[in-house]
Chains A and B, each alone.
Chain A
Amino acid sequence: MAKQLGMVIDANACIDCKGCMVACKVANQVPGDNWRNWIKDGAMDRSAKSKKRMVFQPGNCMQCDKPTCVTACPTGATYKSKADGVVMINRDLCIGCGQCIKACPYGARYRNEKLKVADKCDFCSNRREVGLEPACVSTCPTKARAFGDLNDPSSPAGKLYAAQKEEAVQVVNAQSDTDPNIYYLGAPGDKHWPVKAQMPSAFTFWKNVADPGVKVLMGLMGVGVLAMLGKQLVMKNDAPEEHHGEDGHE
Chain B
Amino acid sequence: MSSRQVPRHTRAGIFIHWFNAACWFFLLVTGVALISNPELNPLGAWYPKAVRAIFFGGENLLVAHWLVAFIWLAVWLVYLFWGMNRLVAPFINSIFTIEPNRDIQWMIKKNLQMTVGYKMMARLVKPLGYDGTMPDQGYYNVGQKLAAQGLIIGGLALVGTGFIMFTSKYFLTAADVWLVQWSITVHFIAAGVTTALLILHIYMAAISSEERPAFISMFTGTVPAEYAKHHHRLWYDELEDSKPSEVG
Contacts and interface: CB of A to CB of B under 8 A. Distances in A.
B39 interface: yes
Interface string A196-210: 000011110111001
Interface string A97-108: 111010000000
Contacts of B177: 96-98, 101, 111
Which of B42, B196, B229 has the most CB atoms of chain A within a 10 A radius of its CB? B196
A93 B182 contact: no
Contacts of A205: 185
A75 interface: yes
B37 interface: yes
Interface residues of A, number: 54
A76 B229 CA distance: 54
Interface string B57-94: 11100100000000000000000000000000000000
Contacts of B173: 111
Given A97-B177, A202-B182, A231-B115, A116 B35 contact: no
A176 interface: no
Contacts of B59: 90, 92-93
Given A207-B39, A211-B42, A217-B196, A238 B185 contact: no
A241 interface: yes
A48 interface: no
A203 B40 CA distance: 9
Interface stretch (A35-43, A130-138, A140-148, A221-229): A221-229
Given A90-B58, A116-B172, A228 B114 contact: yes
Nearest to A243: B133
Interface stretch (B20-28, B95-103, B186-194, B215-223): B186-194
A194 interface: no
A101 B173 CA distance: 13
B189 A225 contact: no
A207 to B, nearest CB: 5
Contact of B185 (A73, A206, A243): A206
Counting contact residues on chain B (CB < 8 A from A), the size range is 35 or more
B34 A75 contact: yes
A228 B115 contact: yes
A166 interface: no
Contacts of B116: 231
Contacts of A154: none
Interface string B114-147: 1111110010000000011110000000000000
Interface of B: 1-2, 34-37, 39-40, 42, 48, 57-59, 62, 113-119, 122, 131-134, 165, 168-170, 172-174, 177-178, 180-182, 184-185, 188-189, 192-193, 195-196, 199-200, 203, 207-209, 225, 229
Interface of A: 71, 73-77, 90, 92-99, 101, 110-111, 113, 115-117, 200-203, 205-207, 210-211, 213-215, 217-218, 220-222, 224-225, 227-229, 231-232, 235, 238-241, 243, 249-250
25 contacts: A75-B58, A90-B59, A93-B62, A95-B184, A96-B172, A97-B180, A97-B184, A98-B177, A101-B174, A111-B174, A111-B177, A113-B174, A205-B185, A214-B189, A224-B200, A227-B115, A228-B203, A231-B115, A231-B116, A232-B207, A238-B117, A240-B132, A241-B118, A243-B133, A250-B229
